[in-house]
């Protein structure tokens, strides 16, 4: 008898479970600043998997000057002539920083390869070079985490339909997204080859079930927090100095006033 899958996680329960993780994420941010460590998270997956949602959940309560989200547009004509990894290097984290990649260099192994935007030789070169590139990052001390968000085709179709019906989400439907529906099997084959070639002990892939996006976010964040070394640092309490004078109501001259 199979194990019954849990039902869809409600919003209130999700927020209740997320709250202590947000505090721990802030502990991680302070630890990074205290130690000078660098953290980089790659979030990959099919269209509609929920990449943007989990990235927002991680970054939502963090200082945006310390935690950056990188979602690069398509390469320029000049960038197409560069070493493939070159356009990503300027976005790597410095000491104390967190960088979250909403798609990354793995575009080459997925959408570029399937859509014919790179040659097969270029795709094979990428699969050979990516583990070497990532080994260099890890050997230099960067904490690198790679997540693939898994979603069933039936669930993906539900989300495509939801985006088409909702005018506030319709912008998420690009021509590439629509084309991906017809190439589902091709994407599956490309993903299998990518995971096989680039999963390594130094930079492993972690697959996370995102058929329920809220539950998937909690699973991913918990895994990330548990995988980071002990990150407790003393918290500095902030004491407000006394005001120099009695509080005054803010006033404006020249007829200006707040709306």
86-137: pLDDT as tens digits: 999 999 999 999 999 999 999 999 999 999 999 999 999 999 999 999 999 9
Which pLDDT score is estimated for 1? 44
Q: What's residue 233's pLDDT? A: 80
Hey, how many other C-beta atoms are within 10 angstroms of the C-beta on 207? Answer: 13
Residue 183 lies in a domain: yes
165 part of a folded domain: yes
Q: Is residue 80, in this structure, part of any structural domain at all?
A: yes
Q: Is the pLDDT confidence value at 57 over 80?
A: yes
Report, as an integer, the average pLDDT of 48-76. Answer: 96
Would you say residue 202 lies in a domain?
yes
- Is 235 domain-assigned? no
In a domain, 252, yes or no: no
Q: Give the CATH number of the domain where residue 211 resides.
A: 3.40.50.300
**CA-CA distance, 138 to 149, in Å (whole number)?**
22
CB-count exposure of residue 236 (10 Å: 0-12, 13-18, 19+): exposed
Residues of the domain holding 154: 11-227
Residue with the two structure tokens 């640092």:
233
Q: State residue 213's pLDDT score.
A: 97
In the sheet that holds 67-70, the strands lie side by side as: 67-70, 98-102, 38-45, 142-150, 205-209
Q: pLDDT: is 169 or 244 the higher one? A: 169
Q: pLDDT tens across 216-225, in order?
A: 999 999 999 9
The average confidence (pLDDT) of the chain is 92
Flag whether 100 is in a domain.
yes
pLDDT at site 248: 73
Within-domain flag for 67: yes
Is the model's pLDDT at 241 over the cut of 90? no
pLDDT at 4: 56
| % of the chain exceeding 90 in pLDDT | 76
Domain count of the fold of the chain: 1
């Amino acid at each position: 008898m199979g194990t019954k899958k849990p039902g869809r996680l409600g919003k209130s329960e999700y927020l209740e479970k997320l709250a202590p993780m947000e505090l721990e994420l802030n502990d991680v941010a302070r630890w990074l600043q205290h130690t000078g460590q660098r953290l980089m998270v790659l979030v990959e997956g099919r269209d509609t998997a929920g990449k943007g949602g989990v990235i927002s959940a991680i970054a939502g309560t963090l200082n945006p000057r310390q935690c950056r989200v990188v979602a690069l547009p398509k390469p320029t004509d000049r960038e197409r002539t560069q070493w493939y990894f070159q356009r990503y290097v300027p976005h790597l984290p410095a000491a104390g920083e967190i960088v979250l990649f909403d798609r990354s260099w793995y575009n080459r192994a997925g959408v570029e390869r399937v859509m014919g935007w790179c040659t097969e030789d270029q795709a094979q070169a990428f699969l050979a070079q990516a583990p070497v590139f990532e080994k260099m990052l890890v050997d230099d001390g960067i904490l690198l985490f790679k997540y693939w968000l898994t979603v069933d085709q039936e669930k993906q179709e539900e989300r495509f339909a939801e985006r088409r019906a909702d005018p506030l989400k319709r912008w998420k439907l690009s021509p590439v997204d629509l084309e991906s529906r017809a190439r589902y099997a091709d994407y599956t084959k490309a993903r299998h080859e990518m995971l096989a070639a680039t999963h390594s002990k130094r930079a492993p892939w972690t697959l996370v079930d995102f058929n329920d996006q809220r539950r998937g976010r909690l699973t991913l964040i918990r895994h990330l927090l548990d995988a980071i070394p002990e990150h407790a640092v003393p918290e500095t309490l902030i004491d407000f100095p006394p005001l120099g004078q009695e509080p005054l109501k803010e006033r404006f001259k020249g007829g200006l006033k707040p709306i």
